[in-house]
Amino acid sequence: MHVSDDLVSLSRLEPWLNDHGILSGSESLRVQPLGEGHSNLTFVIERGSQAAVLRRPPRGPLLPTAHDVVREARIMGLVRTHVPVPEVFGICEDDAVIGAPFYVMERAPGAVVRDALPDFLDGVAGVDQRRAVGLDLAHVLGKIHTTAWQPLVDAGVGRPSGYIERQMRRWTGQREGVQVAVAAAGGTARELPDYDAVRDWLVANMPSAVEPALVHGDYKLDNVLVVPPADGELARISAVIDWEMATVGDPRADLGYLLSFWPEMGETVPLTELVTQASGFPSRDEMVHVWETTTGREAGDTRWFVTLAIWKLAILLEASYYRFLAGTADDPFFAKLDQGVPALLRRAREVTGA
């Protein structure tokens, strides 16, 4: 697949790679998009038998604090000793190289599991493997939440208090930012009554603060890499990716987010085709138990955090929807957001019972 030169210009990227000793050699560079993410853009850069992964923001006007790939890369460097993440080879903050900041990291082994099961997780033979992956997903989340968080605060990533209040301010502000941007372009943002109802419920039912932790911010099955069983061992998580929204805060927010993307048999999640309804995958209760055992924390009532997760996702995707309408994003997934965002907000309201 051809990659537009305004996204990754190999003629400008190559000197930067050479200066940083990344993918050294005389063979021509090749680039292709990787994955189906709808936020930051990810590409595989190849030279001969070598490969690395490049991450950069999408095109178009971006919401404040969104798509900060430099911050993402630095977080990965800070947590790598405790959490499985790809090694970052280099960070570039100079827009002149490829038109936006970017970073380059190793291409870690493993498959992304999204809307279809790889062979090693499929069928009757994959039942035990599916269970192992689900439980390891909860265990790795627990490892994230037992990672020392003070180094992140020292590096300017997050603050140890006020997380829930900041989340509410940030995401309310993101929604208002979309409204302002649309108005500035001569339009009117659409009404989303369930957004207002869920926001009011979240404000009225905010939980008490707990001891802070490193928070991934987008932790779900398709944001990890899964390696097949080897040497008599079960399939496992090899790396956690997409750290764009990581910070220091309430670890229950990550747990709620994971649970919101973990439908059990007979359940659906708007805008997604998830595989966790297949036999063998652990239940949400089992996932919570593994997380509690790994962290030594109690999850309590997860309903508030599941609601927050769905509400935040709807706000994020509404911004993407208006980028699509403005012609600055051509991902066909965004066309589904006309109905998909209201569906997410209905689901969030159903979780609240409001």
pTM, full prediction? 0.89
Amino acid 1: pLDDT: 47
Residues 273 and 294 in one domain: yes
Q: Which two tokens stand for residue 189?
A: 């943002």
Residues 304 and 164 in one domain: yes
Amino acid 323: pLDDT: 81
* Per-residue model confidence as pLDDT tens digits over 175-203: 998 889 888 888 888 999 999 999 999 99
Question: Residue 180: which domain range?
Answer: 119-352
| Banded pLDDT at 56 (limits 50, 70, 90) | very high
Residue that is last in its domain, among 72, 106, 140? 106
Q: Does residue 5 form part of some domain?
A: no
| Banded pLDDT at 62 (limits 50, 70, 90) | very low
Residue 138, CA atoms < 13 Å, CB-side half-sphere = 25
Return d(Cα 174, Cα 81) in angstroms, integer: 33
Q: Does residue 339 form part of some domain?
A: yes
Residues 146 and 286 in one domain: yes
| Banded pLDDT at 37 (limits 50, 70, 90) | low
Q: Does residue 29 form part of some domain?
A: yes
| Banded pLDDT at 66 (limits 50, 70, 90) | low
Q: Which two tokens stand for residue 169?
A: 């301010």
Residue 78: which CATH number?
A: 3.30.200.20
Residues 172 and 94 in one domain: no
Q: Does residue 114 form part of some domain?
A: no
Residue 131: which CATH number?
A: 3.90.1200.10
Least confident of 202-206, 226-230, 323-327: 323-327
| Banded pLDDT at 4 (limits 50, 70, 90) | low
Q: Does residue 258 form part of some domain?
A: yes
Return d(Cα 313, Cα 37) in angstroms, integer: 14
Sign of CA dihedral 245, 132, 347, 162: negative
Residues 78 and 56 in one domain: yes
As beta bridge partners, residue 236 has 227
Q: Does residue 111 form part of some domain?
A: no
DSSP code per residue over 26-80: SSPEEEEE-S--SSSEEEEEEETTEEEEEEEPPSS---TTTT-HHHHHHHHHHHT
Residues 284 and 149 in one domain: yes
| Banded pLDDT at 58 (limits 50, 70, 90) | confident
Q: Does residue 232 form part of some domain?
A: yes
Residue that is last in its domain, among 54, 74, 106? 106
Least confident of 21-35, 53-67, 75-89, 234-248: 53-67
Residues 237 and 259 in one domain: yes
Mean pLDDT of 150-154: 96
Residue 311, CA atoms < 13 Å, CB-side half-sphere = 31
Residue 324 reports pLDDT greater than 90: no
Residue 56 CA: distances (Å) to CA of 114, 242, 244? 22, 12, 11
Number of domains observed in the structure of the chain: 2
